[in-house]
Amino acid sequence: MPNLKLVASDPADILNLCSSLHNKSGPQVQIKINNYLKAKTGSFVTFMIPLLKESEEAVVQVIGENVLDHELRFPFVDDSIQLAVKRRRSFKGSTKDLYTDLQNMLKTVINPLPDRYLNVPVPHPSQDIIALLVCLVDYDEIDNAEYMCTNLVQDCFRYCFGMVINSLAFEEEKRLKLQCQSLLLVARRLFSHLGHLPELLKEIMVEARRLTNAERCSLFLLDPDHQELVAKVFDGKDGKDEIRIQKDQGIAGYVVASGKLLNIRDAYKHPLFFKGMDEVTGFRTRNILCFPIRDEETVIGVAQLCNKIGGFHFDVFDEEVAEAFSIYCGISIMHSLVYKKIQDAQARSKLSNELMMYHMKVNDDDLKKVLFCDKSHKHPHFEDFDFSPRVLPIKEVSCYACKMFEDLNMITTFHIKKHTLTRFLLFAKKNYRETPYHNWMHAFSVAHFSYLLLKNLKLIELGYLTSLEGLTLMVACICHDLDHRGTTNSFQMKSGTTLASLYSSEGSVMERHHLAQAICILNTEGCNIFDGLSQNDYTHSLDLLKEMILATDLAHHFKIFSEQQKLVDNYQKDDPNHKRLFIALLMTCCDLSDQTKSWKVTKNIALLIYKEFFSQGDLEKSMGSRPLDMMDRDKANIPQLQIQFLSDIIIPLFDTLKGIFPESACLVEAARFNRDCWGRAVDLFANNWPEDLSSLEILTDPELERQVLLSVVKS
């Protein structure tokens, strides 16, 4: 057969091989050719290594007659492959120099593994590239063995190349088809989690890892208000603290800005990669595939996949899958957010109906009684730090509240109408429930202390606060516990209340509810105390109001208190961060100011607080839960709890205030005196009252107050 251009092969054998390759799958084609070359070259085993130009990877799917469970992909890193491709001629080498995973795979077929092998390059017939390599392990040692083996391989592929390439392409198409089917299943799974965004995000990360065979995944959503990327779930795990990064930082920031997928083959060589995270976690990032997630208009987040499993890096097919997958991600996330808004709207509607049933409108007669009151409302100690506003007649409290705004010249400065101020205060009063402690009297006491701070420390005159900040501080104190239910944030969360469903994702459940009620009152006709402000001042006052009310959450106080303590040595009035910390400090001081009054007042406050606590504890018991000891009327040791509260929170808090304003030292002294009184009460509780009396019953006994004060005076 003179037309066959063969160097070392029998034409009949080549024809028989070609005729046997029809209607075979990709692996079966490779097995046929492997067996043919094994017989012709006398090799122990042969296999092909297709070279992927797009991803610069070598692929092994079949070794001899063994089809691998998972194809092996590796880079052109070992010398035998590099030299065979670069020189375009066969390369004889040692199997010890092969890619480690390939060596291990070969050992499952040949053990012990022979040392000698030959790499034969096979060029593409129409492109100037090496398309694949044929590896002959332990071939016949005859004269000109390498020359003969090379010609046998090249003779074979001169006529079988098309079948091999087509079968490989067919296998890739099959893989894509399976991935498309997987995407449809993914869409089904994603849309079954629309009701809960964190669960949806976890499902997205699980599916992203599975589709691309990645080791890790992180998903960030864009927070447009703060221009940050936020991850509340990282690598499929809920974290106590969300992770936030600037939207223009790092690899994720680049993808957000460009809106384009980024495939990084070597993370440590990329300028945007931050090595510090690997150093902290001990995790080694090799390669990254980061792709944007879009809604109909813009990028709403990014997914970042790390470390391709079973491959050197993510390839073009991973990129195609990621881009297709991102469409489903965007649709499902946006639908989840819309669904959450609908749920929130329903919860607000339910809450509004509940409030409407509970609260009534301000009576015009009540409004007139305050507006046209002819009493002077003067108390000789009203401006003293040790004065407790709780001694004032409850009917006159609204008048005293108006007096505080007037005395600070806020009515004139901000053009507040007297009837607007009065209606605002009466609406706020109506929105406080008749709980033992968190009621209207508490709100007034907190506002009164803010009045004392503004007045006695000259916060506005000395430039610590602007007039607008002073006004908002007073308003925030009035509103900071609106519609308080007498229960804690943790109770709301554990009980799954309407408030928890509405605000739990943001934290500070009750404080956010208080803020929402404050905005509701300001939006009520005739109640907007900020109505005379300019547009800019109005917007700023609402931002301040939010910060101030949220600052009354003690959990927030604990997070920032160490930073607040640093203000003592270096408070800069013009530093925005210092101002934010300072305002939060003032709000906490106001909220807890009852602890700086006389022992009698403090004891009565404790009685009110623990009535609330024990009511919640009783409710938790009825629900089958175990309350904290401080909430359990059968276990709480009130004097010990008060000593701990004063020592751990109150005294350090007011000591910090004293560090900035030495003239407030009397507040720390009062708190320490009260701690001493509670210390005396510990022994009195244990020795002077029957065991069958509860802590609350002992607190209400006038004899306790007399004995404590007598004991302190004697000491």
DSSP-derived letter for residue 237 is E
Structure tokens at 97: 């120099």
Whether 433 and 449 have beta carbons less than 8 Å apart is answered as: no
The angle formed by the CA atoms of residues 42, 43 and 44, to the nearest 5 degrees, is 120
Name residue 353's amino acid: N
The structure tokens 């040790």 sit at: 386
Virtual CA dihedral for 332, 333, 336, 342, nearest 10 degrees?
-120
φ, ψ of residue 613 in degrees (nearest 5)? -60, -45
Binding residues, as ranges, are 438-442, 480-481, 591, 642
* DSSP secondary structure, 494-518, as one string: HHT-HHHHHHTTTS-HHHHHHHHHH
Binding residues for Zn(2+), as ranges, are 442, 480-481, 591
φ, ψ of residue 336 in degrees (nearest 5)? -65, -40
Could you tell me the CA-to-CA distances from 393 to 448, 590, 597, 602 in Å, in that order?
15, 21, 18, 19
Binding residues for AMP, as ranges, are 438-442, 481, 591, 642
Helices 702-714 and 599-622, interaxial angle, to 10°?
130
Name 679's Cβ contacts closer than 8 Å, sequence gap at least 6. 639, 643
Q: Catalytic: 438?
A: yes
Whether 450 and 473 have beta carbons less than 8 Å apart is answered as: yes
From the list 196, 226, 381, 438, the catalytic residue is 438
Structure tokens at 317: 């097919």
Whether 558 and 507 have beta carbons less than 8 Å apart is answered as: no
Q: What span, in angstroms and rounded, lies between the C-alpha atoms of 15 and 7?
A: 15
Q: How far apart are the first and last CA of the chain?
A: 123
Q: Is the peptide bond before 224 cis (omega within 30 degrees of 0)?
A: no
Structure tokens at 276: 């510090």
Find, among 631, 649, 465, the residue nearest to 557 by Cα: 649
Whether 606 and 617 have beta carbons less than 8 Å apart is answered as: no
Please name every residue paired with 116 in a beta bridge, in sequence order, or none if there are none.
94
Name residue 531's amino acid: D
The structure tokens 């554990």 sit at: 494
SS3 of 33-62: HHHHHHHHHCCCEEEEEEEECCCCEEEEEE
Q: Would you say the C-alpha torsion 658, 661, 665, 671 has a positive or negative sign?
A: negative
User: Mapping DSSP to helix (H, G, I), strand (E, B) and coil, where does residue 545 land?
Assistant: helix
Structure tokens at 559: 């997070």
The structure tokens 């005395």 sit at: 407
The structure tokens 């960030």 sit at: 220
- Contacts of 498-505 with CB under 8 Å at 24 or more apart are 498/347, 498/350, 498/351, 498/354, 499/351, 501/343, 501/347, 502/344, 502/347, 502/348, 502/351, 505/197
Helices 364-371 and 397-407, interaxial angle, to 10°?
50
Name 88's Cβ contacts closer than 8 Å, sequence gap at least 6. 121, 123, 130
Find, among 648, 642, 628, the residue nearest to 695 by Cα: 642
Whether 69 and 62 have beta carbons less than 8 Å apart is answered as: no
Find, among 140, 156, 145, the residue nearest to 42 by Cα: 140
Q: What span, in angstroms and rounded, lies between the C-alpha atoms of 294 and 324?
A: 11
Q: What span, in angstroms and rounded, lies between the C-alpha atoms of 601 and 609?
A: 12
Structure tokens at 396: 């006159």
**Which residues are known to be catalytic?**
438
